[in-house]
Amino acid sequence: MKLNVGLLGGGSWGTTVASITSKNSHTTIWARNEETVREINEQHTNSKYLPGALLHRDLKATSSIEEAVSDADVLVMGIPSQHFRSVLREAKPFIRPWIPIVSLAKGIELSTKKRMTEIIAEELPGHPAGVLTGPNLAKEIHNGQAAAAVIAMVDHTIAKKLQPVFSTGLFRVYTNNDVIGCELGGALKNIMAIATGMGDGANAGDNTRAALITRGLSELTRLGTAMGGKRRTFAGLAGMGDLVATCSSSKSRNHHVGFEIGRGKSLTQIIEEMNEVAEGVKTAKVVMELAEDYKVDMPISREVYKVLYEGNTVIDAFKGLVKLESGSEQEPG
């Protein structure tokens, strides 16, 4: 029997996932914009966020949260992290008891420093909470290019049940029970993508990018394991895989932000010109607080924060990293 999937959020990744699940399950996507809803229903496209992409013909869209979630057997949250809680509260009266809730967001709530599954546990206790994450650039998946992701749930049985909901021939979904590690990998790599973007925008070169990616992996693994994630998770799709894709691709929003900063644009101008959220911009703030809370040194994240919020230049950031004393690669740091 096909499950009913309710998906909240009509951005590029939310729409992509909804189109994927429509192949396997009855899927209804919610978007606030009436024009987006009408376009999905009538033309099977979402030209604002996925220009040129044809969505699955069975995908249904609505501007009513109640319609999207009231019959859902699984709820998917394609909402940016800073609006995640408010939209979940809006949906709460219509959500059936005990259904799984899966987050697509790759960020951390600024005001509470909480992950999205922690927000789900607070707002809807008793609902199994998980995350779908990995190296997933929406436009490539819509172009029919192969990709892989991870569905992370504490309960392996539920993860196995949800695996076929999100899987297609060219989109392979693996399971993982390390929800903390998978969520943190997705959130923290965005800061590293801004760093590599800055380097690319300033023509720092391929060697610099490679160094930032590998030292960035070490950095996010240190904080991720201190917060309860498993080390091996950060070597997998949710860690290294997502990090490489986001740090190397011009399709990445966070890399784009860094790239434009590297070319000399202001953060304000860059954000104004974008029609989607680059999660790493906000995550850079909260990660500095988490690094202090857990007493973890995060030099790359610190330099990115200084560029974003303290007026430092990209040159200042690279000077700051070069001045650091080099330790052993086998030791933390």
Binding residue numbers for NADPH? 12-13, 32, 49, 106, 138, 253, 277, 279
Q: Which residues are annotated as a binding site?
A: 12-13, 32, 49, 106, 134, 138, 189, 242, 252-254, 277, 279
| Rounded Cα–Cα distance for residues 197 and 225 (Å) | 25
Determine how many CB atoms are found less than 10 A away from the CB of residue 243: 26
User: Per the residue annotation, which of 160, 189, 282, 323 is the catalytic one?
Assistant: 189
- CA quadruple 160, 139, 268, 306: dihedral positive or negative? positive
Instruction: Evaluate whether 148 touches 241 at the Cβ level (below 8 Å).
Output: yes
Question: Looking at this protein, which amino acid is placed at residue 143?
Answer: N
Instruction: Evaluate whether 194 touches 280 at the Cβ level (below 8 Å).
Output: yes
| Rounded Cα–Cα distance for residues 322 and 310 (Å) | 19
Instruction: Evaluate whether 84 touches 283 at the Cβ level (below 8 Å).
Output: no
| Rounded Cα–Cα distance for residues 277 and 80 (Å) | 7
Strand partners, 60: 28
Instruction: Evaluate whether 139 touches 53 at the Cβ level (below 8 Å).
Output: yes
Q: Which residues are annotated as a binding site for sn-glycerol 3-phosphate?
A: 106, 134, 189, 242, 252-254
323 annotated active-site: no
- CA quadruple 205, 315, 217, 333: dihedral positive or negative? positive
Instruction: Evaluate whether 295 touches 285 at the Cβ level (below 8 Å).
Output: no
Catalytic annotation, residues: 189
